[in-house]
Chain A
Amino acid sequence: MHFGLSYVLVTAVRQLTWLVLIALLLSTLSWTLRKTRSAEPLAPGEIDLQTLSSMRAADILWVDARSKAKFDSRHIPGALLLNQADWKALFRTSMISGNRGARWCSTGK
């Protein structure tokens, strides 16, 4: 690696550090602003945590759309695994009652 390219790379790494710091600052500001902003109104069919906690556990079926690995690692007790990757196999073996409100979970740990 000749001198010119070495100098350019060293300079580039130094400048990249500044770019990372600036982006970290902006993303931290973004996170802070979003957390302090008031809650968004619920869309039709959505419920908040307070309403959920007042419902009877027997009236709720949790459907977990995450990967099997994440489901096996940790999931809400009684939740049903039904993800896109294994949809056909899981759907055939699942039993979803039409009388209960199904709640979908596709994010989180």
Chain B
Amino acid sequence: MAGQVVEWVLRVLVGVVLAAAGAAKAFQPEAFAVEVDRFQLTPWLLSLALGYFLPWFEIVTAIALFFRPLYLGALLAISGLGMLFAVAVGSAWWRELDISCGCFGALVSGRIDAWHLVSALLFVGVGSALLVYHGRLRRKAPEMSSKPS
């Protein structure tokens, strides 16, 4: 019971953050592509493609957190997004790039700092923990697998 409550709270928190982040960037993809390009990890065309793709991926993932047939995929996506973000932020921090995160588009213009790296790792942790949780549920009672409450 406690596990289910914690799971629901995490789903709501992560879902709201992802949906807000995606919505803030989905209608200004070129601006987000510039933010991605500033990390100096990808060529411009790939930055532009990510500028269009990532915000919609965040929105779809946020919705999938509350849609049973895609719930586990959403958890894996959260871990993947967190990992991607951690690598990008860690790389920028290591190279001392003076750039903004771009996480919420033009809504928030904070410079990259340790908090962004911690947030990214939290996403990885939440996604992975919930996947392991469902793996254990599945092992205990196979008929209850992949059943978000």
Contact = CB atoms under 8 A, between A and B. Distances in A.
A13 B73 CA distance: 6
Contacts of A28: 52
Given A8-B131, A18-B73, A85-B97, A3 B53 contact: no
Interface in A37-58: none
Contacts of A36: none
B52 A2 contact: no
Nearest to A15: B73
Contacts of A4: 135-140, 142, 145
Interface in A1-52: 2-9, 11-20, 22-24, 26-28, 30-31, 34
Contacts of A3: 138-139
Interface residues of B, number: 42
Query: Which of A16, A28, A84 is the most central at the interface, judged by chain B CB atoms within 10 Å of its CB?
Result: A16
B93 to A, nearest CB: 14
B29 A12 contact: no
Nearest to A1: B135
Query: For chain A, which range describes its interface: under 10, 10 to 19, 20 to 34, or 35 or more residues?
Result: 35 or more
A109 interface: yes
A50 B80 CA distance: 44
Contact of B52 (A7, A30, A108): A30
A100 to B, nearest CB: 26
Contacts of A6: 135
B140 to A, nearest CB: 8
A15 B134 contact: no
A12 B139 contact: no
A15 B69 contact: yes
Given A12-B131, A84-B98, A107-B37, A27 B53 contact: yes
B57 A8 contact: no
Given A4-B136, A16-B77, A106 B145 contact: no
Interface of B: 26, 29, 33-34, 37, 40, 43-45, 52-53, 55-57, 59-61, 64, 69-77, 80, 97-98, 131-132, 134-140, 142, 145-146
Interface of A: 2-9, 11-20, 22-24, 26-28, 30-31, 34, 67, 69, 84-85, 106-109
Given A12-B131, A16-B80, 10 more contacts: A5-B132, A8-B146, A15-B70, A15-B73, A16-B73, A23-B57, A26-B56, A27-B57, A107-B44, A109-B45
